[in-house]
Amino acid sequence: MRVDAVVIGAGISGLSCGAFLAKAGRSVVVIERAERPGGYFNSFQYNGYHFDGGIKAVENAGLLLPMMQSLGLEKRVNFMKNRMYAGLEDKLFLMDSDEDISAYFDYLGNLFPDSKTGLGEVLAEMMDLTRVMEVISDMSRPLYKENPILSKLKSAAWFMKNGKRLMELLKKLKYNEVLFREFLQERIKDEELINIIDEPFFYGTPAFFGLAYPTVFRDYYYPEGGISKIPDVLTECITENGGIVKLNTEVVEIKVSNGRAVGVVTSTGQEISAGSIINAADARKLYTKLLPKETVSSDFLTRLARATVSDSVFSIFLGVDSSPEDLDHDVAHVIYVPAAAKPVDYSSPEYFETAGMEISIPCLRDRKLAPEGKTGIILNLNSTQEFSNGWGRKVSREAYESIKEKAADQVMDNFFKLYPSLRDKIEFRLVATPFTMERKTLNSGGSISGWSYHPDETFPFRDFKKMNKSILTPVKSLYQVGQWSFDPAGVPVCLITAKVAADRAQKK
């Protein structure tokens, strides 16, 4: 079989890339080892409950909705605004506007009066970044261009309108080189307050990311029917345009000839030749398992071996015998810090005693997502495979199960501080560790954002101005897209790199 492009992995990056290629009339095969498309954009059903297994709501960032529109899919998904809350102990704060965020900071200032001035400085910088970042909401036009002439006109108009703010935004990128925690430490005296603000963020999060989050929070959407609705319509788009999404199939080898990637071999033994190969899956496995040994230099491999991966997640899926109307709070999505926060140490056996969590309740956005009179709730906690000596896995399966359940008990105790009425109403709980994440997606370490956010430990370059080059690999015609292509990654990086690679492959 010969096609224009093979895409490895049907997560959001692979599907989005495949959809643009198919829509442009290129022959494309997207190969996915799982039985369903989506990667970390997945949902599953259990006892009639709908759970989102990975991401819980998606930031638009001037990309998601324009991408859907550009592919002609905007009418197939009903995106609902997803309102985010910050939770501290037993209090909740809406994060929808500058006023909301100021109210939260006022509350923190009253709890920590000695740090009021520093808090004010952090807030002012967040607000300024919010103002400047509005430029991004309009940024998609050059990326998802409808036709070259219209696009040129629009780009010129866009720069006239936004050029000044774009320059300001570029200046703010200096915060990409400073850790968010260090930024806070320079301004805030109280260690406990720093921990509260820093708690939800990954290890090594740059200040740019931390400061931008209040803006990002306002820009989250949830698709009616659940997260899997997004990969489902992208899959439809590929197949309707003549492409193929091959499920239950793993790519086990990439064929290289004269320094150029020329095809793949699948777990079923099929060989597919292609003009371009786009890896939308783990990069470490790409270089160490899929490519022939002599293809990349030993220097490159040494640098790869030294790099570490970003955080993973510990997830609890709860079936609750309570109707959504009777919950303690009518709130679908919370970033919650349950107690006076300690500095995060993912490997410590005590980590889950105080760890913060993301709480998501799908049926509060769409009632069809739980059985009548019941509620499904998902708790996510940043975590890694290093917790408590590798979750006891080296000892035995029993040790792993027992450490996992003990961590879940500790998380539940904290969850009940915010939802006390649910203590006796849990019908079942399912628990997933960073090892589950790796097993389901093949992402190294179960990483949910690719390479480490820490500038000293990452692998790809981090220069936003050169993001379009991040798809290039040492092998010609082989591109890397998605969460392993650029750092710090997330859905916006996935969508940008997918489109850049699709454009390049399309030209061939």
Ligand X SMILES: Cc1cc2nc3c(=O)[nH]c(=O)nc-3n(C[C@H](O)[C@H](O)[C@H](O)COP(=O)(O)OP(=O)(O)OC[C@H]3O[C@@H](n4cnc5c(N)ncnc54)[C@H](O)[C@@H]3O)c2cc1C
Q: Quick count: other Cβ atoms within 10 Å of Cβ 185?
A: 14
Judged by beta carbon, residue 143 or residue 281, the one nearer ligand X is 281
Identify which of residues 30 and 418 has a Cβ nearer to ligand X in the complex: 30
Choose between 193 and 254: whose C-beta lies nearer to ligand X: 254
Which of residues 14 and 225 has its CB atom nearest to ligand X in the complex? 14
Nearer to ligand X, 158 or 175 (CB): 175
d(CA 480, CA 319): 38
Do residues 364 and 342 lie in contact, with contact meaning Cβ atoms separated by under 8 Å?
Answer: no
Nearer to ligand X, 322 or 452 (CB): 452
Q: Which residues contact 299 (CB under 8 A, 6 or more apart)?
A: none
477 neighbors 261 (Cβ within 8 angstroms): yes
Q: Is 294 exposed, middle or buried (0-12, 13-18, 19+ CB in 10 A)?
A: exposed
Strands 271-279, 357-360: pairing is: unpaired
Report, in Å, the least distance between residue 382 CB and ligand X. 9
> What's the chain's Rg over C-alpha atoms?
23
Question: Could you list the residues that contact ligand X (CB under 6 A)?
Answer: 8-14, 31-34, 39-41, 54-56, 59, 250-251, 280-282, 313, 380, 441-443, 448-449, 482-483, 489-491, 494
Count the helices and strands in the chain (H runs, E runs).
Answer: 17, 19
Least distance (Å) between residue 61 CB and ligand X: 8
Nearer to ligand X, 3 or 448 (CB): 448
Q: Could you tell me the smallest distance in angstroms from the CB atom of residue 163 to ligand X?
A: 27
Could you give phi then psi for residue 244, rounded to 5 degrees? -125, 135
CB of 448 to ligand X, least distance (A): 4
Q: How far is the CB of 456 from ligand X (least distance, A)?
A: 21
- The closest alpha carbon to 345, from 108, 121, 127, 181, belongs to 181
Residues 6+ apart with CB under 8 A from 347: 384, 386, 387, 388
CB of 17 to ligand X, least distance (A): 9
The least distance separating ligand X from the CB of residue 116, rounded to whole angstroms, comes to 30
- For 147-197, list the strands marked E by DSSP: none
